[in-house]
Amino acid sequence: MVKLDIISDPICPWCYIGKTNLDKALLDFPDHPFTIEWHPFQLNPDMPAGGMDRRTYLETKFGGKEGAIKAYAPVVEHAAKVGATINFEAMKVTPNTMDAHRLIHWAGIEHRQSFVVDLLFKAYFVDGRDIGNHEVLADIADTAEMDAALVTRLLSTQEDTQMLSDREAHSRKMGVTSVPTFIVANQHAVPGAQPAETWVQIITDIQAQLDAAEQT
16 lies in which domain range? 2-215
Q: How far apart are CA 180 and CA 117, in angstroms?
A: 13
Q: Are 129 and 166 in contact (CB under 8 A)?
A: no
Q: What is the pLDDT of residues 186-202, one digit of tens each?
A: 999 999 999 999 999 99
The predicted structure's pLDDT at residue 102: 98
Strand partners, 191: 181
Average pLDDT per 10 consecutive residues for the chain, totaling 216 residues: 97 98 96 96 96 94 90 95 96 97 98 98 98 98 98 98 98 96 95 97 95 86
* AA identity, residue 213: A
Which CATH number covers residue 196? Answer: 3.40.30.10
* Amino acid, res. 25: A
What's the helix, strand, coil split of the chain in %, to 5?
Answer: 55, 10, 30
**pLDDT on residue 214:** 86
pTM over 0.85: yes
Number of domains in the chain: 1
